[in-house]
Amino acid sequence: MTDQAYNFAYLDEQTKRMIRRAILKGLAVPGYQVPFASREMPMPYGWGTGGVQVTAACLTPEDVLKVIDQGADDTTNAVSIRKFFQRTAGVRVTESTGEASVIQTRHRIPEAPLREGQILVYQVPIPEPLRFLEPREAETRKMHELEEYGLMHVKLYEDIARHGEIATSYAYPVKVEGRYVMDPSPIPKFDNPKLGDCPAIQLFGAGREQRIYAVPPYTQVVSLDFDDHPFVASKAPHDCDLCGADESYLDEVIIDDAGGRMFVCSDTDFCAGRQAAGHRGRLSPAEVV
Amino acid sequence: MTGIALGGGFSHPPEQAARAFRAVLEAVSRPGTIWTVEGAVPPAPLTVAAGTVLLTLADGTAPVHLAGDADCQPVRDWITFHIGAPLVGAEGAMFAVGRWQDLLPLGRFHPGDPDYPDRAATLIVLMNDLTNAGARLTGPGIKDAARLSLPEIAAFQRNAVQFPLGLDFIFTAGDRVAALPRSTKVEGAACM
Ligand SMILES: [Zn+2]
The domain segmentation of chain B, as residue ranges, is 3-128+163-182
A90–chain B Cβ distance below 8 A for any pair: no
Confidence of residue B131 (pLDDT cuts 50, 70, 90): very high
Distance A263 CA to ligand 1 centre (A): 8
For chain A, first and last CA: distance in Å?
A: 44
Q: What is the DSSP letter of A147?
A: T
Distance from CA of A165 to the nearest CA of B (A): 31
pLDDT reported for residue B23: 98
How many domains does the structure of chain A reveal? 2
Residue A157 within a domain: no
Q: At A31, which CATH number?
A: 3.40.50.11310
Tell whether A21 and A104 lie within a shared domain.
Answer: yes
pLDDT reported for residue A165: 81
A222–chain B Cβ distance below 8 A for any pair: no
Residue A62 within a domain: yes
> Is the CB of A61 less than 8 angstroms away from the CB of B30?
no
Tell whether A248 and A208 lie within a shared domain.
Answer: no
Tell whether A177 and A105 lie within a shared domain.
Answer: yes
pLDDT reported for residue A168: 86
Angle, CA A112 vertex, CA A106 and CA A113 arms, to 5°: 100
The answer to whether residue A31 is catalytic is: yes
Tell whether A179 and A249 lie within a shared domain.
Answer: no
Nearest one of A62, A109, A64 to A82, comparing CA atoms? A64
pTM of the model: 0.96
Centroid of chain to Cα B176: 11
Residue A27 within a domain: yes
Tell whether A43 and A92 lie within a shared domain.
Answer: yes
pLDDT reported for residue A105: 98
pLDDT reported for residue B88: 98
Tell whether A31 and A90 lie within a shared domain.
Answer: yes
Distance from CA of A259 to the nearest CA of B (A): 48
pLDDT reported for residue A5: 66
pLDDT reported for residue A287: 67
Tell whether A187 and A272 lie within a shared domain.
Answer: no
* Burial of A241 per CB tally in 10 Å (0-12, 13-18, 19+): buried
Tell whether A178 and A217 lie within a shared domain.
Answer: yes
Percent of chain B, pLDDT > 90? 93
Is the pLDDT assigned to residue B112 strictly greater than 60? yes
Residue A96 within a domain: yes
Mean pLDDT of chain A: 94
pLDDT reported for residue A45: 73
Tell whether A201 and A247 lie within a shared domain.
Answer: no
pLDDT reported for residue A234: 85
Low-confidence ranges of chain A (pLDDT < 50): 1
Order of all β-strands in the sheet with A102-106: A34-35, A211-215, A201-206, A119-123, A102-106, A64-69, A92-93
Strands A174-176 and A180-182: antiparallel
Tell whether A198 and A246 lie within a shared domain.
Answer: no
Residues from chain B that touch A141, judged by Cβ atoms under 8 A, are: 115-116
Is the pLDDT assigned to residue B34 strictly greater than 60? yes
User: Please, which residues have CB within 8 angstroms of residue A233's CB and are 6 or more apart in sequence?
Assistant: A189, A190, A191, A192, A193, A223
Q: Which residues pair with A169 in a beta bridge?
A: none
For chain B, first and last CA: distance in Å?
A: 36
Q: Which of A25, A36, A143, A144 to mutate to test the interface with B (most CBs of B within 10 A)?
A: A25
For residue A266, give its domain range: 235-279
Which helix (H) or strand (E) segment holds residue A213: the answer is: strand A211-215
Tell whether A49 and A175 lie within a shared domain.
Answer: yes
Confidence of residue B189 (pLDDT cuts 50, 70, 90): low
b or e along A166-187 (b: 16 or more beta carbons within 10 Å of the residue's beta carbon)? Answer: beeeebbbbbbbebbbbbbbbb
Is the pLDDT assigned to residue B136 strictly greater than 70? yes
Choose between B152 and B191: higher pLDDT.
B152
Tell whether A271 and A239 lie within a shared domain.
Answer: yes
Q: Above 0.95 for ipTM, yes or no?
A: yes
Look at residue A223 and give its three-state secondary structure: strand
> Is the CB of B122 less than 8 angstroms away from the CB of A61?
no
Centroid of chain to Cα B99: 10
Query: Is A152 in contact with A144 (CB distance < 8 Å)?
Result: no
pLDDT tens string B43-100: 999 999 999 999 999 999 999 999 999 999 999 999 999 999 999 999 999 999 999 9
What superfamily in CATH does domain B3-128+163-182 come from? Bacterial phosphonate metabolism protein PhnH (3.40.50.11310)
Residues from chain A that touch B94, judged by Cβ atoms under 8 A, are: 21
A260–chain B Cβ distance below 8 A for any pair: no
pLDDT tens string A194-213: 999 999 999 999 999 999 99
> Is the CB of B117 less than 8 angstroms away from the CB of A219?
no
Residue A114 within a domain: yes
Residue A198 within a domain: yes
